[in-house]
A and B are shown apart, each in its own frame.
Chain A
Amino acid sequence: MDEVTKVYEGKVTHRAINQLSFEVGKGEFVAVMGPSGSGKTTLLNLISTIDSATSGTITIDGLRPEEMTKTELALFRRRQLGFVFQDFNLLQMLTVEENLVLPLTLDGLPLDEMKKRIADLAKKLDLGQILEKRPNEISGGQAQRTAIGRALIHQPAFILADEPTGNLDSKASKDVLELLARVNQEQKTTILMVTHDPIAASYCDRVIFIKDGEFFNEIYSDDRRQTFFQRILNVLSLLGGNVNDLSTIRLS
């Protein structure tokens, strides 16, 4: 991302993202953190090509979304991107299995191929027991695993996750994050995750902090998750308000 700015025009003009630049490497697991209203969701919308930047350029795998037509964008999203949402956004009328297979049906894959991929994923994500159930009959953790499965089934290069642990309890969160980390390592899938939760961020390779739409800081993980988590908290405590408002208290 290079010098990306997004201005919401309207009765009140609002600059959601201001000259933000960063790069995510192939196979990297990156978290974006920032307080409410810092522009995280806008950022995600821009990268997921459903919104376009006012100025600046976004390049994904050599492609520039702003140069593509609507249909090309849709096909690009369908094949290259996977999405995981905070409230899962599973389609209520479909069973778990049907939710999983949905992206594949859009591309009209042969039935055998679809069945094979579902069998693989169900094993990997431990969804075998609930394939015939509906989204309102399963737990939050299972729902989010299903959503991750749906994001993975078409083997995208890039997964965008918006607060994937926001609605989950700690056990389910841990499962989901470990799953994402594993996917990242095993399949070398690039993952960009927006989160509030420092624990979630500590599973990543790198954390980018933004504030009021601008780049604030970034830190890289080290060998121990515990110390990485501590460093994330340090940055967050600075991020919370104006730097001079509060003294930087070290939490231990």
Chain B
Amino acid sequence: MTFRQFAYRNVVRNRRIYAAFFMASMFSVMVFFMYSMLLFHPKIEDEFLREFAASGMIVAEIILYIFTLFFLFYSMSAFLQARSKEFGLLLQLGMEKKQLNKLIFLETMLIGAVSVATGIFFGYAFSKFFFMIVRELLQLESLPLYVSIKPFALTMGAFFSLFVIIAMTSVVFIREQKIIELIRGYWKTDELQSYSTVKAILGIAMLVFAYGAAAFTSTTVVLALSIVLPPLAALGTYFFFTHSVLFLLHQVRKRKSLYWHPYRLIAISEVAVKLRENARMYFIVTIVSTVAFLSVGTLTSLSSYTGQFREINPLSLIYSSEMSNPYESDHISLLRNELEEQGLSYTLVPFLIKQQTSSFSQNSVDILRMSDVNSLALALGLPLIELPPGEAMFIPYSEDSIGTLKSKEIQTVLEESNVPIRIRGVYPKMLFPSMIIGSNIVVVSDSDYRLINEPFSGRSLIDSSYKFFAFHVAEWERTKSIGLDIDSQVTDAIYDGGFTTLPFYFENPGLNYSVIRATFSLLLFTGLMVAAVLLLAAGSFVYFKLYTGLERDKRQFDVLKRMGLTEQEIIKIVNRQLVPQFFLPWGIAMLHSAFSFLSLQVIWSNLAEVSILSEMILVLVGFTLIQIVYYFLIRWRYIDHVRA
């Protein structure tokens, strides 16, 4: 048997230990490879999407790479610890330190090579499937599978270098110990009691403060908090796992009536040991899971934004124009022509919006004519209104305003033209996207509308009204190529900061929608896959740690069995030991994410009035289910091992 064969057999015969490790790294390689396939795809035509897809993939790949490096580094050290007895024996038999290093190097490289190879294999196999999803998300014509050396080279280069780094550095972990210590193993109890009450309370206080601040945040401070809270919560989490948990368990241990209970005595003390031993690991798992929850949750909430897009944007094309706008008729006929070329049927409702000052609030009011509003409502399939002269109605400027304006009743005079009106109630649906027209819009009867003919105070007659063209297109998702020219003029003007210099404004929700939808869904998809890798790895951490302590746990259960513990009791104790190990990091991560989303909701409702609650619940429930499945899987393996 040559030295290389020895290394090979070590890996192959320890395959059960290596399985989770191998799975996690293979999966990571696979996802990385699929991203690179997309990154180098020659057929992504759309300039914007190409740029966007490429940068998204690059970020995802960097995250994956760094995380995998970190993950492998950690699990490698856990392995070497688990195998310390074996290494001690080899050293005792006269193996040189140099040879041992070489052995570990060979083993690591072997696993690395196999996981890179299988990862790329499965990656390539699933690439077509991946492309189909991406094609659907980006609404591309086709996204065929292609053969190129680039993605292969990138993946192999990245991961081989990664495994070389791991193989070289993991040896460091066993460098310092004496042989006798290696053979005895790592069972240390001296750390058990070491917690500081101050840090324990500090940890809890930091978390409570962070949660409180996140829950009761308001628009004004949310940005400042989003900088301060994450590090605070992270530090709090660290103290929580290293000190607070032990502190809390110690409080339980002091209460004998609680603690001296058939299963609790063993389970609680064991949990205390495990949590102390692996505090850092649980901290990492918590942070990793929180990041995964958050990224997926954020992305889902972005997609929920696209779902509510239509409600916020009831119109298909919007063109507003000042009275002095020389391009108006050109633009409108251009839009009409383009719509006809595309074969899209449409309804055009032109508005002439007049501005006056309200005597009630001394603010400017935008005034619409009832018949215009009714023709738009007819096109959109919304209820019609009937206003007698002297009556008026609010037009909602946002979803929220429907509620607040509903029961409002105001008697006011449109000062310049001296038209008295009574504004009562609000139109029950959004007619215009928010902020397209001002925030103080009323609709008046046609006869009152005619009476308004004096200029808005301080302006000429021509400047005190403007035109607004509302297009309704039934197939509004297909309008993305309409009015691209005008759209780019508006966009350029906004970039230059000279927004107000243009005499017109144009918005194409269909175009915006397709961009937003593609962007968000690609982001979500990328994020989901990264999160899947993170969660798989987080689960593997727990598995490794259980495996490392298996030998000792086995001995302990052996003693307990002799002392007369029945099988059922052992399973009960195992449950009580495993549940905290699994669900404490997860639970804290859930709490972290839940409170983060409370703040996020504040930001969101400012931006787009979107509620992300239902999406968030869905995401959290999904992750919980995955975690429960993982728990049962690992519990099954663990019970099998300790029973044997």
A interface residue numbers (CB < 8 A to B): 48, 50, 70-71, 74-79, 81, 83, 85, 89, 91-94, 98, 101-108, 111, 114-115, 134-136
Complex interface: chain A residues within 8 A of B273 (CB):
92-93
- A-B contacts, 20 of them at CB < 8 A, read A70-B566, A71-B567, A74-B565, A74-B566, A77-B562, A77-B564, A78-B563, A79-B564, A89-B559, A92-B273, A94-B266, A102-B265, A103-B564, A106-B262, A106-B565, A106-B569, A107-B262, A111-B256, A134-B193, A135-B189
* Interface SS of chain A: helix
Give the docked Cα–Cα distance between A106 and B190 (Å). 27
Q: A89-B559, A91-B559 are in contact. Are A98 and B564 (CB under 8 A)?
A: no
Complex interface: chain A residues within 8 A of B265 (CB):
94, 98, 101-102, 105
Give the docked Cα–Cα distance between A114 and B256 (Å). 10
**Taking the nearest CB of chain B, how far is it from the CB of A73, in angstroms?**
8
Give the docked Cα–Cα distance between A114 and B569 (Å). 20
**B272 within 8 Å of A by Cβ?**
yes
Task: Tell whether, in the assembled complex, residue B568 and residue A91 are in contact, meaning their CB atoms are under 8 Å apart.
Answer: no
Task: Tell whether, in the assembled complex, residue A50 and residue B561 are in contact, meaning their CB atoms are under 8 Å apart.
Answer: yes
Complex interface: chain B residues within 8 A of A81 (CB):
564
> From A106, which residue of chain B is reached at the shortest CB distance?
B262
Give the docked Cα–Cα distance between A75 and B262 (Å). 13
Task: Tell whether, in the assembled complex, residue B192 and residue A134 are in contact, meaning their CB atoms are under 8 Å apart.
Answer: yes
Q: What are the interface flags for B240-283 relative to A under an 8 Å C-beta threshold, 1 for contact and 0 otherwise?
A: 00000000000000001100111011100110110000000000
**B187 within 8 Å of A by Cβ?**
yes
Complex interface: chain B residues within 8 A of A107 (CB):
262
Complex interface: chain B residues within 8 A of A106 (CB):
262, 563-565, 569
Q: A74-B566, A105-B260, A134-B192 are in contact. List 6 more A-B contacts (CB 8 A).
A: A70-B567, A71-B566, A74-B565, A77-B564, A93-B192, A93-B269
Complex interface: chain A residues within 8 A of B337 (CB):
none
Task: Tell whether, in the assembled complex, residue B564 and residue A75 are in contact, meaning their CB atoms are under 8 Å apart.
Answer: yes
Give the docked Cα–Cα distance between A115 and B192 (Å). 25
Task: Tell whether, in the assembled complex, residue A91 and residue B562 are in contact, meaning their CB atoms are under 8 Å apart.
Answer: no
Task: Tell whether, in the assembled complex, residue A111 and residue B257 are in contact, meaning their CB atoms are under 8 Å apart.
Answer: yes
Task: Tell whether, in the assembled complex, residue B262 and residue A71 are in contact, meaning their CB atoms are under 8 Å apart.
Answer: no
Complex interface: chain B residues within 8 A of A103 (CB):
563-564
Give the docked Cα–Cα distance between A135 and B269 (Å). 13
**B556 within 8 Å of A by Cβ?**
yes
> From A109, which residue of chain B is reached at the shortest CB distance?
B260
Complex interface: chain B residues within 8 A of A105 (CB):
260-262, 264-265
**Taking the nearest CB of chain B, how far is it from the CB of A159, in angstroms?**
12
> From B253, which residue of chain A is reached at the shortest CB distance?
A98
Partner of B562, one of A48, A70, A108, A114: A48
**Taking the nearest CB of chain B, how far is it from the CB of A179, in angstroms?**
20
Give the docked Cα–Cα distance between A91 and B187 (Å). 12
Complex interface: chain B residues within 8 A of A78 (CB):
563-565
Complex interface: chain B residues within 8 A of A104 (CB):
260
Give the docked Cα–Cα distance between A136 and B273 (Å). 14
Give the docked Cα–Cα distance between A74 and B569 (Å). 10
Task: Tell whether, in the assembled complex, residue A94 and residue B564 are in contact, meaning their CB atoms are under 8 Å apart.
Answer: no
Give the docked Cα–Cα distance between A134 and B253 (Å). 14
Give the docked Cα–Cα distance between A77 and B567 (Å). 13
Most chain A CB neighbours (cut-off 10 Å) among B256, B261, B562:
B562
Complex interface: chain B residues within 8 A of A89 (CB):
555, 559
Q: A93-B269, A105-B265 are in contact. Are A75 and B566 (CB under 8 A)?
A: yes
Complex interface: chain B residues within 8 A of A93 (CB):
189, 192, 269-270, 272-273
**Taking the nearest CB of chain B, how far is it from the CB of A205, in angstroms?**
25
Task: Tell whether, in the assembled complex, residue B559 and residue A92 are in contact, meaning their CB atoms are under 8 Å apart.
Answer: no
Task: Tell whether, in the assembled complex, residue B260 and residue A83 are in contact, meaning their CB atoms are under 8 Å apart.
Answer: no
**Taking the nearest CB of chain B, how far is it from the CB of A117, in angstroms?**
12
Give the docked Cα–Cα distance between A204 and B567 (Å). 35
> From A80, which residue of chain B is reached at the shortest CB distance?
B564
> From A107, which residue of chain B is reached at the shortest CB distance?
B262
Q: A101-B265, A102-B266 are in contact. Are A77 and B189 (CB under 8 A)?
A: no
Complex interface: chain A residues within 8 A of B567 (CB):
70-71, 74
Give the docked Cα–Cα distance between A115 and B256 (Å). 10
Complex interface: chain A residues within 8 A of B262 (CB):
105-108
**Taking the nearest CB of chain B, how far is it from the CB of A135, in angstroms?**
8
Complex interface: chain B residues within 8 A of A74 (CB):
561, 564-567, 569
**Taking the nearest CB of chain B, how far is it from the CB of A143, in angstroms?**
13
Complex interface: chain A residues within 8 A of B565 (CB):
74, 78, 106
> From B568, which residue of chain A is reached at the shortest CB distance?
A71
Give the docked Cα–Cα distance between A48 and B563 (Å). 9
Complex interface: chain A residues within 8 A of B264 (CB):
105
Complex interface: chain A residues within 8 A of B272 (CB):
93
Q: A93-B189, A105-B265, A111-B257 are in contact. Are A76 and B564 (CB under 8 A)?
A: yes
Task: Tell whether, in the assembled complex, residue A94 and residue B269 are in contact, meaning their CB atoms are under 8 Å apart.
Answer: yes
Give the docked Cα–Cα distance between A77 and B565 (Å). 8
Task: Tell whether, in the assembled complex, residue A91 and residue B556 are in contact, meaning their CB atoms are under 8 Å apart.
Answer: yes
Which residues in window 382-412 of B have CB below 8 A to A? none
**Taking the nearest CB of chain B, how far is it from the CB of A2, in angstroms?**
24
**Taking the nearest CB of chain A, how far is it from the CB of B555, in angstroms?**
8
Complex interface: chain B residues within 8 A of A76 (CB):
564
Give the docked Cα–Cα distance between A50 and B563 (Å). 10
Complex interface: chain A residues within 8 A of B566 (CB):
70-71, 74-75
Task: Tell whether, in the assembled complex, residue A83 and residue B266 are in contact, meaning their CB atoms are under 8 Å apart.
Answer: no
Give the docked Cα–Cα distance between A181 and B248 (Å). 43
Give the docked Cα–Cα distance between A20 and B266 (Å). 38
Task: Tell whether, in the assembled complex, residue A92 and residue B562 are in contact, meaning their CB atoms are under 8 Å apart.
Answer: no
Complex interface: chain B residues within 8 A of A48 (CB):
562
Partner of B187, one of A92, A101, A115: A92
Complex interface: chain B residues within 8 A of A50 (CB):
561-562
Task: Tell whether, in the assembled complex, residue B261 and residue A136 are in contact, meaning their CB atoms are under 8 Å apart.
Answer: no
Give the docked Cα–Cα distance between A108 and B562 (Å). 18
Task: Tell whether, in the assembled complex, residue A77 and residue B563 are in contact, meaning their CB atoms are under 8 Å apart.
Answer: yes
Give the docked Cα–Cα distance between A101 and B269 (Å). 14
Complex interface: chain A residues within 8 A of B563 (CB):
77-78, 83, 102-103, 106
Most chain B CB neighbours (cut-off 10 Å) among A79, A103, A106, A134:
A106
Most chain A CB neighbours (cut-off 10 Å) among B189, B265, B568:
B265
Complex interface: chain B residues within 8 A of A134 (CB):
189, 192-193
- 5 closest A-B pairs by beta carbon, nearest first, are A78-B564, A77-B564, A74-B566, A93-B269, A89-B559
Give the docked Cα–Cα distance between A51 and B565 (Å). 15
Give the docked Cα–Cα distance between A94 and B566 (Å). 20
> From B190, which residue of chain A is reached at the shortest CB distance?
A136
